[in-house]
Structure formats: C-alpha cells, structure tokens
Amino acid sequence: MRDAFHDDLDAINQTLVDMSALVSDAMAHATTALLTANLELAEEVIAEDDRVDTIQHDLDNKTLEVMARQQPVASDLRNLVTSLRMSADFERMGDFAHHIARIARMRYPSSAVPAELALTIQSMGNVAVALNNKVTGLLTSRDTEVALQVERDDDEMDKLHRKLFEVLLDDNWAHGIETAIDMTLLGRYYERFADHAVSVSRRVYFLVTGEYAEKQS
C-alpha cells in the first residue's frame, strides 16, 4: 500500500512538472505572437489553454481521490494539499498566457505593442519564462535555496513593470487610450504570471521545511 501511495505522489508531482513546462511554453509563444503579430501562434496558445485546464481538473480529482483512499497525515498530507494549490497556480499562469495571446489576436494584423515598448515587453516575457523554468526544475530538486532565489529574481519583473508605466504615463505618449489599455493589461498579465511562479516556489519551500519562507529582499 505504501509503495502504491508513493507511486501516486510521484505521478502527481510529475504532472505538476508537466504543467509548469506547458505554461512556460505558452508564455514564450504568446510573447512571440504578440510582438510579431503571428495569428497562427496566438491561436495555438489560446487552444492549448484548454489542455492546461483539463490537466488541472484531472490532477485535482486524482489528488482528492488519493487523499480519500489513503487518509494521509503529516508530511504526506502537506504534499497533497500543496499539490492542489500548485495546480491552481499553474492554471492561472496558463490563463495569463492565454490573455496575452488574445490581445495579439485582437490587434492582428498589427502588432499590439508600440515599437518603443517592444524591448520591454520582450524582456518581461523572457523574465517570466526564466522564472518558471527555474520553478519547473525546483519541483524535482526541492532545493530550498532555489526556491528563495525565484522570489529574488522576481524583482526584475517588478522593475520592468515600473518601466512600462513610466512610458505610459509620460506626457509624450502618442498611441492613444486603446493602446495604453492594452499595455496596462499586458503589464499586469506578465507581473501576475511571475507572482504565481513565486507562489509555487514558496509552496515548495513550505513543503520541504514545514515553514513559510520570509520575504526575500
């Protein structure tokens, strides 16, 4: 029974790894679609989000079934409860990539991003993917120092988000209200994607130590 239980735990964790990789790919592709006005790629990201949702629903059902069947306690229960929360994080991250792809599709055949903000948006996409790629490895390594590093790395996303708003609020902004709204939403989507990556890293830290990590500076 214990061997079967640990096989279930391993399978659940592997599904989380797979979800993490999927949302990293979705964010990378959504950013490319946004900056290059690639409608086909945007459509692929939008369609792929349904797959992430399905995986989350199946994983949560599996996790609840294992909890009911095995009635785990202590660290095993913590593992399963944390898995439910991580799957919700990844589902939301998939949604943010989906939202970015929808903006790319809505503004096609034009690019939604003004030329002077293209580098900032590309950098936000790069940081988001790099953060979550680190999270993907963290799910396997359970390295608490890496978990803390993810939160420190998120500072770069915050800096880029502030830089984006400096351009939007500049008196010389010449792209109108509609584009400003698009940029505001995009900044929020990238920032929240990164926040959820940090959330997963903090959950891994809790899973390993039984304690919540202090805020990193």
The pLDDT profile of the chain, 217 residues, written as one tens digit per residue, is 567 888 999 999 999 999 999 999 999 999 999 999 999 999 999 999 999 999 999 999 999 999 999 888 888 999 999 999 999 999 999 999 999 999 999 999 999 999 999 999 999 999 999 999 999 999 999 999 999 999 999 999 999 999 999 999 999 999 999 999 999 999 999 999 999 999 999 999 999 998 888 776 5
Closest CA to 202 of 216, 217, 187: 216
Sign of CA dihedral 197, 14, 81, 144: negative
| Predicted pLDDT at 34 | 98
CB neighbour burial string for 117-126, b if at least 16 within 10 angstroms, e if fewer:
beebbbbbbe
Longest dimension (CA), the chain: 67
In order of their start, the domains of the chain are: 2-209 (1.20.58.220)
Answer yes or no: are the C-beta atoms of 11 and 66 closer than 8 Å. Answer: no
Answer yes or no: are the C-beta atoms of 190 and 165 closer than 8 Å. Answer: no
Answer yes or no: are the C-beta atoms of 194 and 154 closer than 8 Å. Answer: yes
| Predicted pLDDT at 119 | 98
| Predicted pLDDT at 216 | 63
Give CA–CA dist 49/99, Å, rounded.
10
Burial class (CB in 10 A: 0-12, 13-18, 19+), 29: buried
